[in-house]
Structure formats: C-alpha cells, structure tokens
Chains A and B, each alone.
Chain A
Amino acid sequence: MIKHTLHAARRAFSPGLRRFSETSGGDISEDVFEREGPPRLTKQASLYVHWPYCLRRCSYCNFNKYIPKENNDPIMTECLQRETETLLQLSQVSCITSVFFGGGTPSLAHPSTIAAVLESVSRRAYLSDKAEVTLEVNPTPVGKSKLEDYCRAGVNRFSIGVQSLQDGDLEILGRDHSSHQALQTVEEARRLCPGRVSVDVMFGRPKQSAESWENELSELLRVCDYHVSLYQLTLERGTQLFKQVLGGEVTMPAEDVTAEMYQCARRTLHQHGFLQYEVSNFARHKAVSHHNTSYWKGRQYIGVGPGAHGRFIPFGDGGVVREARTQTLEPDVWLREVQERGHGTRRRIQLSHLELLEEVLVMGMRMSEGINHKHWEWFSPQLGLHEVFGTSSNVQELLQSGQLILDDRGLRCSWDGLALLDSMLPALLVILERQISQRLQRDHTTRISNPK
C-alpha cells in the first residue's frame, strides 16, 4: 500500500498536458467504446468526484457525508484536484468520457471548485467539450442561484434531488427545501441545460399510498425535463428514519404497496414517453445518463474524493488487472492523505476474471437492453452468453416463465423480470461461477494433454 502510494505520488509530479492524441471519444453523442471495441477499454474512464459535505442530515440517508465544522473549501478543492491528477496519472487513461459530481451536496461547492477539478482533468487527459459533466443539485434557492455559474464552470447536466412534491413529506425526509423551490430549480436548470436535466424522486415514503404517488408523479411529469430517476426509499440502519420506524412513530408502506407504486410509475412514465433504460432510470429523447450507463456497462471509472469508489487498471503502477479501489472515508483523514501522498486510496482489491464478469453481469442486467453479445465478448472472449447461460435448467425455467430473455441480441430481463432482478441474479451468478471454473479446468486439462 505505502509502496504503491509513493510510486503513484512520484508519477503525479510529471506535468501533464491535455491529451488529445488517442481518441476522438468522450462525446456524448454515441458510445465510442461500442464502435471501437476492446482496446479503448483501458484507455478511457469516467470520473466520479465526491463532495462529502451537507448542511444537514436527511433522515433517510446513511451515505458518506459530513456536516462541515469549518470552511475548508479551498483545501478540499486543492485535494480533489490533486487526487484527480494522481489517479489519472496512475490509470494512464487518455480520455475521460464523463464526469459526475456527487455527494454529499456538491451544489454546496463553489463553482470555482468544479472548474478547478475539470481543469485538472483536462491537464491529464482528454475531456471533450461535449463530454457529459453532471452535478447533483439540492434544489434550494442558494443551489438554484449557482446553477448558471456551474454551467460556466463546465457542468452541462444537472441531477436535481426533488424527492417529493409534498412539503410534509420533505419535512419528514429532513430535506432543506420546499416543493416550490424544487420546481423553480428545475425550471432554472432546464433554462440553462435544456434536455439535460434529471430529477430524482422517491417513492415508498412514510404513509404514502399508491394513489397519491400516482398523482404526484403525474404532476412532476408536467414540469420535468427528459430524465427521471426513481428510487424506492430504503430504510437504512442508523438513520433517524430507521429509529422512527422502529419506535413506531412512522409507518412505511407495505411491500405489496411499494411494488404497486413501482409498477405504476413504470407504466405512467412509459405513457409519457419516458423509456426505462435501467431499473431506476427513465429517459425521453434518448437523454440517458452516459456517466451512469458506463457503470452498468462495466467500464472503467475513477473515483475521487472521500469514500469514492473506482474500477480501473493502475497501468502507471505496473498493473495488468482491474482493481476495485476505495478512497478513505473520513474527509479530514482523506485530506491529510492527499496532501501527504497525492491520493487517499485506502483499499485496492484486484478483481479476478470471474469477479470482473460477475460485476459485468450484475450491472449489465440492470439495463433494459441487458447485456448484448458484443458487450459480453469484450469481457469474456472465450465463453459466450449462450455457452454460459444457455444450458442451465434454471435459466431455462426463467426463460420459459418469461422473466428472462436470451436471444440473438443478448441476455436481458423482460419488463416483468426487471422488477425481480435480484431474485434472478444469485442463480445467474452460481451458473457463471460454475461455467468459468469448468472452463478453467478444461483449459488446464487441454494444456496438459497437448504440451506444446
């Protein structure tokens, strides 16, 4: 760990320039990757930047976020920049295809911070002007007032945490905005980035009924842009809401009710021209999130900031396999580590071939289009989808019951099946593991019987 760190830090000093050379990619128009195939796989990545601070704690949230004690924005900015450069250097990617500022509440960050990080990216890699740069926004008046500056800083897509249009619910959830403020923020965002605004909404909220949800969603659809992310509120241990539910102060809708809400939302969104392209994500006019899509397609990504996760091959470190990397969680510790050695990578786990395929499967199946043969082949050139899954009686049952589809396009869930994905994934993982290990054994046997 320490050795690796020093190594990485040394490299971070070599001044980087924008790398235009190797690719024309990073455009949001179409997937370079799909056109150009596997060699690009390791040459590009998306970038996630985590802003860890919030003004207050939402009652349902157990995410990695901190209420800042003092204003250390300048140091935070400097460290985000520094780590971005270090990790870009380490990954040796030549092209950043998208950037996502998440949190925490990244709309608390000064627009200059966003600009600075994007500058750092451009210093070390090619970042197309057209590359998707998303910022999560808390729809408060302050947040709204900064949108224009964010655009100037390089943001070209907003993801707005509307969550609910019921003020009472917003209060229970501990949000610091009203529904009115949220709608105004959406409006402003749409003005600045037409067609590139996403809204987050939450269902399965305390005391919510399927009927009220349907009305709320219809109301939202009248004002929203081209992208909706739909999340079921999940009770997380250690949250205030969890305690309230445990104490009986708050009741959550039953499983059957939330299932109905989900199905109802899918239908409603569909009727309004929103295509579901992933379990929780809907877009019209093809306004999908490219950044998130690259997660589901199993591409490389670099995570910068406290607690951020990454998946990439640390070429600069002599690496040959993809690593699952996690940055240090606590902002103060992370800041110190970045200052001391250029980055705050806390954990590096090399992913085996099987583990990589497992992630490709699990993430890929979340998309409505599933995993196409080509997509799979990039990761598993030797063992096709049909070979892995086609012979299993378990899969056959799922195919017959109409939950799963395996055809010329690839492997995917049916409309019904997508809602039950987590019931199918364990079985698919078992099959994948079995097939891969059998393949390894076969290869081994062949090698022994046919010595070169």
Chain B
Amino acid sequence: MSFSLVKRWCESPLIRRVLQFKVYRRKIQSYNMTYTLLRHRWMKRLPMFSSSVMVSTQTDKDTIDLSKFPVDRIRNFCIIAHIDHGKSTLADRLLEMTGAIATTEKNKQVLDKLQVERERGITVKAQTASLVYSHQGQQYLLNLIDTPGHVDFSYEVSRSISACQGVLLIVDANQGIQAQTVANFYLAFEAQLAIIPVINKIDLKNADPERVETQIEKAFDIPREECIRISAKLGTNVDKVLQAVVDRIPAPVASTDDPFKALVFDSNFDHYRGVVANIAVFGGRVKKGDRIVSAYLGKTYDVNELGLLRPDEHPTQKLFAGQVGYIIAGMKDVKEAQIGDTLYLQEQPVEALPGFKPAKAMVFAGMYPMDQSEYPGLRSAIERLTLNDSSVTVQRDSSMALGAGWRLGFLGLLHMEVFNQRLEQEYNASVIVTAPTVPYKAVLSSPKLIKEHGSEEITIVNPAQFPDRSVVSEYLEPMVLGTILSPDTYTGKIMSLCLNRRGIQKNMVYIDDQRVMMKYLFPLNEIVVDFYDLLKSLSSGYASFDYENAGYQAADLIKMNILLNGQPVEELITIVHRGRAYSTGKAMCERLKDSIPRQMFEVAVQAAIGSKVIARETIKAYRKNVLAKCYGGDITRKMKLLKKQAEGKKKMRRIGNIEVPKDAFINVLKRKDK
C-alpha cells in the first residue's frame, strides 16, 4: 500500500521532494516487495523447531518444495535507508543474484517482464520477495521485506522491522548518515534486530567510505569492521551482503507442528481470481484444498492456490511455518481479506492473532470536494483508498465554506499529500485539503463535562470543538523528538529555526569532523506545516530531518478567531500556542487579504483572541471596476468573463455581506505551496 503511495507520489512533478523518490520509479523490482508484517515477538514465543524435513536436491522453480526450508534456513530481513541511498538498487541486485542461482536467463526474463508490466500501466503492488540462496551447500529462503523510505512511514518501517530478525542499514558513501538513517537505526536497535551496516555507492567519485565508517562507529557504536562496502549499481560485494544475511541474522522462531495459523498482511484484487491475500505463516502448514476460516468474518474458504512471492506469484503445494507467501481462497471482495485478520484450518480453530493496531494518526486535515456535486464520487474514492491504507482515519465533517467533507487523519504530511495526490490522479477527484492540524488534548475540570465525555481527558481534532479555558485544567499538545543531521556550517541557522519553533535541544554531537547531529524536542504542531521545507532551504538541501512521536506535554494553548468586518469565520478557527498567536494570526490575515477580492466596501480582516484583536489587515474598497469599452465586438468576450465570475460567485461563501471565494479559504487553510 504505502509503496504504491510512493509510486504515485513520484509521478507528480508538482510535488516537492520528488527527486528523492525518483529512484523508486526507476527500480521497478523493488516495488514487488511488500512489508511482511510478521511480529517477531510472537515467533519468539513459539518453541524452537529443528527441522526434520530432508532437503530435496531440485531447485527447479516450478516444483519448489518449501518443506525443504525448515525454520532455521529462513531469514527475514529488511533494508532500511535514507531516501536515495540505494535501497532499491540493492534490492534489485539481491533479486538478480538469487534468481541467478536457479536459472540465469529466466531471472533476466522475470525482470524484463516486470518492466514491461509497469510500462503497460499494470499496477504492480508492493510485494514480498522470497529469495532462494545457496550458501555453503545449503539452500536458504531469504524473505526480503521492503520498507518505505520516508519519515511519515516510520510506522510502516517499524511494522516491517518487527517482522524481521535483522536489517541491512544502507548508508550512501558520499552523503553519509542522514536523519532517517538514524531514525531507522534506532527502530531496529530497539527491536533488538541484527544490524548489518552497508556502505553503498563506493563507485562514486566523491565516495568516502572511511568517513562513513567513522560516522557509523560514532553514531551507532557499530565497529567499522562490520561495515560492508558495496556498489549496488555495479554489483560490487553484493554477494557479501547475502552471506552476511545468512551468517549474522538469526532464523525466525516458529513451528510446523502447531496448528496452521497465518496473518493476512496485505491483499489485492485480481479480476479473474478474486482476492489475493498475502500471508505470513506463524505456525503449522497449509496446502491447496485446505478449508480455512477467517477469524474476523468467521467465513470458510477453500484454498485454490498458494505460493511464494518471488516477487511475482510462484505457486507451490504448501506453505510452512516461518514462510511468507500468497493465498487465493475464493474471496470475492477485498473486504473479506481484512488486513490483520488471522486464518486457520476449519478443523483446528486457533486463537486469533491480535492483528494490527490501527496506526495512530498524527496529522489531521479536512478534505472537501471542490464541488459538492462531487461528494459521492469523492466518498467512494476515499473508501477505496482507505481500504488498503488502514492507517488513514476517516471522520465525516462539514464546513460552512467548503460544504460536506471529511476530517482525515494521517501518519504524517507526506502520507497526507500522497493520499491527496492519489485521490486526484487515480480517482480524478479535485480535493480541497485544509492545513494540517494535530490532535490536542484537554484535561477537563468540570465534572459535568467529564461525565458528558465519559473521561477526564479528551482529544480535540477539530479546532471548532476546542473547549473553553474555564472548563479545562490543562491543555496538552503532542510532541516529537526530531533528529536533524547537517553539515556544521548550517548549525546556527538551524538552531535559530528550531528555537523559533519552540524546539528544545536535547542533544548535539559531531558524527564526524563536519557533520553534526542534533536532537530536538518539538511540539508536533510546529513542524507539521513548513518546517521541513524551511530546513531544506536554509541548508541548501543538505540538512535532513526525521522525527518520532514523544507523547504529550502541557501547553499554553488558545483559540484564535478570524473576523471579517467583525464576523467570526468558523472554518478559520485555529488553536495556537499563546506565544505564536500573533505571528500565526498576522500570517493568516495577510493570506486572507491577498485572496479575498476587493469588494465594493472596505473589509477588515482581523485575528482575535476572545474579544481582543491581535492582528489586522484591510482590504480596500474598489473605487473603479468597469470595463472601459464595450461595443458590439466586445460582448462575447465580456459575457464569457462575467459568466465565469457569476459561476464563481455561486460558490462563494458569504460572511456578513462579504463574499469570500472558496479559494480564499483554501489559500488560508491549505498547506503553503513552495
């Protein structure tokens, strides 16, 4: 899912940071991997199983016998890297090299075929790639689990990481450690995974692997000897990576003796075969013809087909504990293959796996159809998109200016933009997306309100529902721990930007003689809109940023109203930190001033806290607005223009006697375009 988000993203030249994603576009093979969402802790809980199954000698693709891969010859790993450090290229090489072990030519064909597939516009969903690798006379099944690269998807990264026992941590030999490298490293480190540092792009002219090794040693406390220097592009030393996967990463913990138990971690729809569910087998085995039950729906299905993803579907007779693959069982609707569902054999019911906790949305934004007549279309588009992206939360909302819509919760800004982009491109829906807000909390003091809400602490997603100070003992705002890596020449500028954003410095280390790593505790609200863009621009693109959630903190929050000639505008209510009220209010007034057309009378645009006006802009009245000449030959053009204005007028929102075009709200509410 997230993968296709990324792909979409790449296709829009309008979106910033696009360059960082280009690499995904070119490297189709990596698309074919999905994140297996196995949870290693469950596996660990299971008793260790030593294989009694004999290794068969044949490795012909069509008759692959999975029973010859006991758990101890399975490795689950993922590749983590900062954007553009070469994760996809390495994945390509791993696929090629392991494919080459079976048949060299066929392997090549597989890749070519995929390329064509993509060129024809067939959606190639993110897939898991199971690699068969011979090492010291033994055959290993290596499950490569792809992870998204961006900060927003760190949730996905951590899900992927938790499915693995080890990671390849890739660092660009030229750029060195970046913010995401750090963030991803800690995710892996905390999950106690085996970490294999890989220094990529050693073929580049400016490559400085020595320096990167120093950085790795310093930042991650990993001995430099453990680093593998490679060029994924040229294939240099990639074989060493495969060896390291087998040698340094432990096998998963699962047992084929247990009853069959599998987790659905992804699904897609095939017109001819119905739902294709991607599963991770946690225990036992499953084969064609088995009757399986969906724990979520209680429905029974016959297994029609199953197999490995290599990365294309590769049918097999059975799937065994510890393995990852796909299953087709006559499910007609994607909804039947609920992601996170547990499958088991009809005659051997098991306790359902906990499934996936819904991703916690940290960035909220209103989404409205450009035109209310597009509401039903947009609704179905959102439904279809959220089906495969359970991390998006959907709540109906309505705005006086923008009509009926939704308040959607996203994992982060990129996630939001990608979602929006997909809506527009795949579903041809024109969408208004309001500026992102974060979920605030309020600790209520009024017993009556506490009773009403059923709890003392409430979460406020819509600023219009912000409770008054008088009934609240404390407001809380979400915090993040941000990591910034940058050449030290920009340190001063970055520190003042962070200070400006209410950031509190937690840490600052030089990871080599020029690069500095800073850790800041930020209110999420402060980084959610334009922080990243500013950071990038003030560091000429050299600084990188990543963040992780860091709970809630008490904050002095206030509700700010925007008034037009004294009339409050409900959709522009904003929750701000007291210290930022003036600058935010001023900026909003300025943006409104620029986007509300001049009227026949003067308009005061004000930001107010309670009854106190803190900022004001004035839109001067029109003094002359009439076309100089209009004769017979001018009518057609004039009518066209006026009719367009009249159409626009129908969509305007009246506040008092002021006509405000929807664009004005959009300009104020939406993210600032760079």
Contacts and interface: CB of A to CB of B under 8 A. Distances in A.
Q: Do A and B come from one complex?
A: yes
Interface of A: 48, 50, 102, 229-232, 234, 255-256, 258-260, 262-263, 279-280, 292, 295, 301, 303, 307-311, 324, 326, 355, 358-359, 362-363, 366, 397, 401, 403, 418-427, 429-430, 433
A362 to B, nearest CB: 6
Contacts of B601: 401
A49 to B, nearest CB: 11
B626 A419 contact: yes
A279 B633 contact: no
Q: Which of A280, A307, A308: most chain B CB closer than 10 A?
A: A280
Contacts of A423: 599-600, 622, 625
B600 to A, nearest CB: 5
Interface in B622-637: 622-633, 635-636
Nearest to B599: A423
Contacts of A311: 632, 635
B636 A258 contact: no
Nearest to B649: A426
A420 B635 contact: no
Q: Which of A301, A308, A362: most chain B CB closer than 10 A?
A: A362
Contacts of A231: 628-629
A262 B625 CA distance: 11
Q: Which of A230, A263, A301, A425: most chain B CB closer than 10 A?
A: A425
Q: Which of B620, B623, B626, B643: most chain A CB closer than 10 A?
A: B626
A423 to B, nearest CB: 5
A159 to B, nearest CB: 11
B642 A307 contact: no
A366 B627 CA distance: 9
A373 B615 CA distance: 48
Given A279-B627, A295-B632, 10 more contacts: A229-B629, A255-B623, A309-B632, A358-B643, A362-B638, A366-B630, A421-B626, A426-B646, A427-B646, A430-B649
B606 to A, nearest CB: 22
A363 B630 contact: yes
Given A358-B639, A426-B649, A429-B643, A262 B630 contact: no
Interface string B564-606: 0000000000000000000000000000000000011100000
A428 to B, nearest CB: 9
Contacts of B623: 255-256, 259-260, 263, 419
Nearest to B597: A423
A426 B622 contact: no
Contacts of B120: none
Contacts of A102: 633
A401 B600 contact: yes
A308 B633 contact: yes
A102 B633 CA distance: 10
A263 B623 CA distance: 9
Nearest to A361: B642
Q: Which of A311, A366, A422: most chain B CB closer than 10 A?
A: A422
B578 to A, nearest CB: 38
Contacts of B629: 229, 231, 280
A91 B631 CA distance: 20
B447 interface: no
A126 B620 CA distance: 53
Contacts of B638: 362
A313 to B, nearest CB: 16
A340 B629 CA distance: 34
B650 interface: yes
B645 interface: yes
B489 interface: no
Contacts of B635: 295, 309, 311, 324, 359, 362-363
B657 interface: yes
Contacts of B649: 426-427, 430
22 contacts: A48-B633, A229-B629, A230-B628, A231-B628, A256-B623, A280-B628, A295-B632, A303-B632, A324-B635, A324-B636, A358-B643, A362-B630, A362-B635, A362-B642, A363-B630, A397-B657, A401-B600, A401-B601, A422-B627, A427-B649, A429-B646, A430-B650
Contacts of A232: 624, 628
A324 B632 CA distance: 10
B645 A420 contact: no
B622 A309 contact: no
A140 B228 CA distance: 86
B47 interface: no
A363 B632 CA distance: 10
Contact of B624 (A258, A303, A424): A258
Contacts of B599: 423
